[in-house]
Amino acid sequence: MKNENKNGCMWYDTDGNPIQAHAGMILCHKDTYYWYGQNMGGETDRRDTGLHRVDFIGFSCYSSTDCVHWKNEGLVLSACSEPGHPLHPDRVGERPKVLYNEQTRKFVLWFHLDSSDYFTAHAGVAVADSPTGPFRFIREISPNGYDCRDMTLFRDTDGKAYLIYSSDWNKTLRIAQLTDDFLDVNGVFSHAFPEQEREAPAIFTKNGVYYMITSGCTGWDPNNALFGTSKNIFSGWKLIGDPCTGENARQTYFGQSTYIFEKDGVHYLMLDHWKPDDLQMSGYSILPIQTEKGHLTIAFQEYTDL
Ligand code: DGJ
């Protein structure tokens, strides 16, 4: 189906408003797609430190039956103005990721929860009965005692779920198994790419191989993506190379990875195209990933005719 939204640009919802679902993910549940992401629809505070930020507003959800036209379902977890609240607007809430837990029939949301200087480096957990929320905030944690910044969730083919997060001041990625209800980490964890300074992790598995695409650590500025592979979620991860090809490949087409989802047997990489001076207008791309003999290839193209 034709998509009026252009990769690399701001995307618009079915009401014609800019989609506020940055650093997000797409979950397919009962034939409907749900796009969750950061609502950054406020003014960008341009700090001298270079830490451009938007006060925390909450996480949005958009729904679609074709994965092309997106209806705004509103905020599914909102900031709380009560002083000292973990979700206060002066905090950072980034990279929301949602999994459905079949045993509990709950939707579980994890995200990067931080202070405005990014020094606290925690994860937040929330839960809902419906994909469109509202999500109830449960806890703020330091997963297995480690700092947690950019993160993602991954649900393996055996139903086990993992939190994958940049740790050790972004030097190393950690992979932590979740409890059966997905509401906490269970103490089983490992790491990948030590001292490689990777962030924005996005992961999928195909034919017994795990693939992880990450970015380098350059704030809101683009850099080159790298993918790594392993046959075991916990060990043996190797960085292989840049999956992007063609013009502007070395800057990931001026985007940054956030999630990989599967539709009709094809894996798609979601990118954010950050606009540090006006973060709310940061754009999006959804690009198909080619997998061949353990190698990934991505080309910049329009997300149309699915
Ligand atoms: C890079 C991260 O990938 C983003 O999610 C965000 O935390 C920015 N850094 C902030 O500078």
Q: Per the domain annotation, does 272 fall within a domain?
A: yes
Q: Per the domain annotation, does 82 fall within a domain?
A: yes
Which residue among 118, 170, 221 is best mutated to probe the pocket of ligand 1, counting the most ligand atoms within 8 A of its Cβ? 118
Nearest CA to ligand 1 atom 8: 219
Residues 6+ apart with CB under 8 A from 84: none
Nearest CA to ligand 1 atom 3: 200
Stretch 205-213: mean pLDDT, rounded?
97
Q: Per the domain annotation, does 216 fall within a domain?
A: yes
Which residue among 25, 52, 120, 199 is best mutated to probe the pocket of ligand 1, counting the most ligand atoms within 8 A of its Cβ? 199
Quick one: which H or E segment has residue 300?
Answer: none
Stretch 45-49: mean pLDDT, rounded?
84
Nearest CA to ligand 1 atom 11: 219
Q: Per the domain annotation, does 16 fall within a domain?
A: no
* pLDDT the model gives residue 303: 87
Q: Per the domain annotation, does 207 fall within a domain?
A: yes
Please say if the pLDDT value at position 51 is more than 90. Answer: no
Nearest to 209 by CA among 228, 225, 190, 224: 228
Q: How far is the CA of 2 from the centre of ligand 1 (A)?
A: 31
Q: How far is the CA of 280 from the centre of ligand 1 (A)?
A: 14
Alpha helices for 94-211 (secondary structure H): none
Stretch 97-123: mean pLDDT, rounded?
98
Nearest to 146 by CA among 117, 183, 171, 116: 171
**If you ran DSSP here, which 8-state letter would residue 5 be given?**
S
- Check: CB of residue 190 under 8 Å from CB of residue 177: no
* pLDDT the model gives residue 147: 98
Domain that holds residue 57: 22-299
* pLDDT the model gives residue 306: 46
CATH code (residue 219): 2.115.10.20
Residue 184 three-state SS: coil
Q: Per the domain annotation, does 7 fall within a domain?
A: no
Q: How far is the CA of 52 from the centre of ligand 1 (A)?
A: 10
Looking at the structure of the chain, the number of domains it has is: 1
Nearest to 67 by CA among 39, 28, 18: 28
* pLDDT the model gives residue 304: 73
Stretch 216-240: mean pLDDT, rounded?
97
* Site residues for ligand 1, CB cut-off 6 Å: 23, 94-95, 150, 199-200, 219-220, 256
Nearest atom within ligand 1 for CA of residue 200? 3
Nearest CA to ligand 1 atom 9: 219
Q: Per the domain annotation, does 306 fall within a domain?
A: no
Residue 204 three-state SS: strand
Nearest atom within ligand 1 for CA of residue 51? 11
Nearest atom within ligand 1 for CA of residue 92? 7
Q: Write phi, then psi, for 122 (nearest 5 degrees).
A: -115, 175
| Three-state DSSP string of 35-47 | EEEECCCCCCECC
Compute how many other C-beta atoms are within 10 angstroms of the C-beta atom of residue 219: 12
Compute how many other C-beta atoms are within 10 angstroms of the C-beta atom of residue 150: 24
Q: Per the domain annotation, does 220 fall within a domain?
A: yes
- Check: CB of residue 303 under 8 Å from CB of residue 283: no
Nearest to 93 by CA among 142, 140, 162: 140
C-alpha distances in Å from residue 220, one per residue of 4, 63, 212, 224, 255: 26, 27, 20, 13, 9
pLDDT in tens, 59-98: 999 999 999 999 999 999 999 999 999 999 999 999 999 9
